[in-house]
Amino acid sequence: MVHFTDIRTEATDDVIEAAEEIFTTAGVEGETEIITDTQVSKPRSSTHIGKRVLQLVDDREYDHVIMGHHGTGAVGELILGSTAKTVIEAGTVPVTVVP
């Protein structure tokens, strides 16, 4: 699991720890990583993050991407964000997007 954030906080660590516990309980193997060198709150950062996800997929030979999506407002609920769109359109592995 890879999580992109501007600032690593105790809350971020708590979320990662909870996810690791869920994965372990479900028998899912893998590693977790928090990436803070990408400014996720800057305009147009979504496309950059999508490209980073694609690079991680290639570098680590992932065979599936599961990514979260949260819309912003009524329009955001109807369309995918730029990050998900970038990964889906340019990716070479299956992508599952969850709310």
Judge contact between 92 and 57, C-beta under 8 A: yes
Average pLDDT over residues 66-76: 67
Q: In angstroms, how far is CA 40 from the centroid of its own chain?
A: 11
In this prediction, residue 75 carries a pLDDT of 52
In this prediction, residue 70 carries a pLDDT of 66
Indicate whether this model's pTM tops 0.85. no
Average pLDDT, the chain: 83
Q: Do 27 and 48 sit in the same domain of this protein?
A: no
In this prediction, residue 91 carries a pLDDT of 92
In this prediction, residue 80 carries a pLDDT of 61
Q: Do 5 and 31 sit in the same domain of this protein?
A: yes
In this prediction, residue 4 carries a pLDDT of 83
The encoded tokens of residue 81 equal 């964000």
Q: Do 56 and 97 sit in the same domain of this protein?
A: yes
Q: Do 12 and 46 sit in the same domain of this protein?
A: no
**By mean pLDDT, which of 19-23, 45-49, 63-67, 85-89 is the weakest?**
45-49
The residue segments making up the domain with residue 95 are 41-99
| C-alpha distance from residue 76 to each of 44, 68, 86, 92, 96 (Å) | 15, 13, 16, 25, 17
Does the structure show a pLDDT above 90 at 92?
A: yes
